[in-house]
Structure 1
Amino acid sequence: MKDILDLLGRGMLSFIFLYEAYDSIFYFEQTQEKMSLYGLEWRQDLLLVGAIILMLLGGTLLLIGYRTGLAMFLLLCYWIPVTFIVHSFWNDPEPARRLQSILFMKNIAIVGGLLMVWANGVGRYSVKRLFATTRVRGV
């Protein structure tokens, strides 16, 4: 049962990043406009394409359970700065503060989930495990 829950948890965590990458690709210009609202003007194309690559690569590696240390590093390099930039509730006016604080805590919980996967491993159902247990016969 633990291995199935590990797989489900990895799938749900990776879906967040894969969906955000999809959204950033298909709404590229709108995402750039949103970045401008948060003061991210320096090399927007580079920053956005880099973020998309981090999310796609990290989310895919997390989903398949391969090189999860690298996946966690990539995803955390993206997710932590974005959380503090986009959901800086301490800078928001009172009406928006409550929602932004909830979204900030949600992102911190996602960071916690990523750290748990990093610390506990990927479980039985992963490409890493498949590679470790597959024997190649000589011809």
Structure 2
Amino acid sequence: MKDIFDLVGRILLSFIFFFEAYDYFAYERLNKEAMTIYGLTWNQDFFLYGAILLLLFGALTILFGYRMRLGAVLLLIYWIPLTFIVHDFWAEEPSSNAYRLQSIFFMKNIAIMGGLLIAATHISGKYRLRRLFATTNV
């Protein structure tokens, strides 16, 4: 049962990063506009496509349970600055809806960072890529 929960947890954790990569790709123009609003005007293509690659690679490592520490660190390299730059609830008026919404998003991202830290220190169960290669005669 532990191995099933490990697999389901890795699927659920990786899903948010796959979705974020898809969103960045599908709404490229809107994301570049958002980057401009947050002051990131230099080399937007590099940062946008770099973020997509980090998200995809990190999500794949978490999903397959292979090199999860590397994937989690790459995702944290992306996720930590994003959280503190985009969800700066402390810059909003405390009684506003924006304050409440940004603080919820900030705490959600903090929880995701906690999941990534757990993934970085965790060895996947029997449903992982390395184990599948070790048990087959390829």
Q: Shorter-normalised TM-score: what interval?
A: over 0.9
Aligned amino acid, residue 90 of structure 1: W
SS of corresponding position for 1:120: coil
Any unmatched runs of 5+ in structure 2?
A: none
Report what 1:120 is aligned to: 122
Which of these residues, 106, 109, 113, is aligned with residue 107 of structure 1? 109
TM-score by length of 1: 0.92
Pairwise CA distance, 1:101: 0.8
What's the CA shift string for 1:93-118, capped at 9, x where partnerless?
A: 23111111111010000010111121
Report what 1:31 is aligned to: 31
Pairwise CA distance, 1:135: 4.3
In the alignment, structure 1 residue 13 sits paired with structure 2 residue 20 = no
How far apart in 2 are the matches of 1:47 and 1:21? 12
Pairwise CA distance, 1:132: 2.9
Pairwise CA distance, 1:64: 1.2
Aligned amino acid, residue 125 of structure 1: Y
How far apart in 2 are the matches of 1:102 and 1:32? 24
In the alignment, structure 1 residue 71 sits paired with structure 2 residue 71 = yes
Pairwise CA distance, 1:121: 1.6
Pairwise CA distance, 1:120: 2.0
Report if the CA contact (8 A) 1:69-1:118 is conserved: yes
SS of corresponding position for 1:121: coil
How far apart in 2 are the matches of 1:122 and 1:93? 43
Report if the CA contact (8 A) 1:67-1:128 is conserved: no
How far apart in 1 are the matches of 2:122 and 2:56? 22
What's the CA shift string for 1:21-71, capped at 9, x where partnerless?
A: 011101101111111111111211111010000001111111111111111
Any unmatched runs of 5+ in structure 1?
A: none
Report what 2:43 is aligned to: 43
Pairwise CA distance, 1:134: 3.1
TM-score by length of 2: 0.93
Give the superposed CA RMSD: 1.2
How far apart in 2 are the matches of 1:72 and 1:32? 25
Report what 2:135 is aligned to: 133
Aligned amino acid, residue 10 of structure 2: R
